[in-house]
Amino acid sequence: MGLRTLKRYVQIAFNGTASQVRRILPQIPYDPRIIIEAGTPYIKLNGMAGVGLIRRMWRGLVVADIKVTDGAVREVVFAAGAGANAATVMGSAPVETLDFFVEFCAKHNIFSMIDMLGVDNPLRKMLPMQTNPDVVVIHKGRDEESNKRNIIRYKDIAKIRSKFDSLISVAGGLEYDSVRKAYFNGADIAILNVVAANDPNVGLRENANFRQLIPSILDEVGQ
């Protein structure tokens, strides 16, 4: 499975229960432009078994959003063993952790994703790195959505691309009809959260008809 064979992707993140995954994921038709994420809350609730469940139900790319902050080697092994094709590390982690993470993701044939949530200058943090990550995530957090002045920092995309050959993913307050803005600003991957019907955060409502919704999202993704 490759990430560079297509121009754009949409990543659908599950952050709830295993029953939510069992109910919704079968409604999502396979498409190589779709990446399925086992989100951090989902993994905390369901463990690596939750990643394995998604792996069994989805034959495309699966991300384990484990947000490594230390001990990168063992955590990469956990994610790869559960069947993930990609895993995440926090950009706020020590540079040594970032390098270990990228190195061992490559050894285990999974994609390395650096999540820049809370990092003021992603490029500056990456410059001392010895290795090139597969993906850099420009991330406005869910809690930050409550502050309307916080925006996705699209300006960081060009800065990172000036030095690193990495794909760029963006997350934070995206809805199905706004992913085009992410691509317009240079992103390769747009992340959409599956959220509860009464969740104040933006995303794909879990009570939506995903069989109808997914084709509309893929229209935004394009070919």
At 82, give phi and psi (nearest 5°): -80, -5
Contacting residues for 30 by C-beta, under 8 A, at least 6 apart = 58, 59, 60
Residue 147 sits in a domain whose CATH number is 3.20.20.70
The pLDDT of residue 5 = 64
How confident is the model over 139-176, as pLDDT tens digits?
A: 865 655 555 555 568 899 999 999 999 999 998 878 87
Nearest to 205 by CA among 188, 216, 193: 193
**Is residue 177 domain-resident?**
yes
Q: In this structure, which long-range contacts are made by residues 159-164, counting pairs with CB atoms below 8 Å and at least 24 apart in sequence?
A: 159/122, 159/123, 160/122, 160/123, 160/126, 160/136, 161/186, 162/123, 163/123, 163/126, 163/127, 164/123, 164/126, 164/132, 164/133, 164/136
Contacting residues for 102 by C-beta, under 8 A, at least 6 apart = 89, 112, 114, 129, 131, 132, 133, 134
Count of structural domains, the chain: 1
At 81, give phi and psi (nearest 5°): -65, -30
In terms of residue numbers, what domain contains 15?
9-221
**Is residue 4 domain-resident?**
no
CB neighbours (10 Å) of residue 12? 25
**Is residue 2 domain-resident?**
no
Does the structure show a pLDDT above 60 at 22?
yes
**Is residue 158 domain-resident?**
yes
The pLDDT of residue 46 = 98
Beta bridge partners of 195: 205
**Is residue 184 domain-resident?**
yes
Q: If you average pLDDT over every residue of the chain, what do you get? A: 91
User: What are 28's two structure tokens?
Assistant: 């999502």
DSSP state string for 92-111: TS-HHHHHHHHHHHHHTT-E
**Is residue 1 domain-resident?**
no
pTM over 0.85: yes
Which stretch of 21-30, 73-82, 143-152, 192-201 has the lowest confidence by average pLDDT? 143-152
How confident is the model over 58-97, as pLDDT tens digits?
A: 999 999 999 999 999 999 999 999 999 999 999 999 999 9
The pLDDT of residue 175 = 80
Which stretch of 11-25, 121-135, 145-159, 178-192 has the lowest confidence by average pLDDT? 145-159
Sign of CA dihedral 194, 192, 134, 89: negative
Contacting residues for 70 by C-beta, under 8 A, at least 6 apart = 93, 94, 97
**Is residue 60 domain-resident?**
yes
**Is residue 3 domain-resident?**
no
The pLDDT of residue 18 = 98
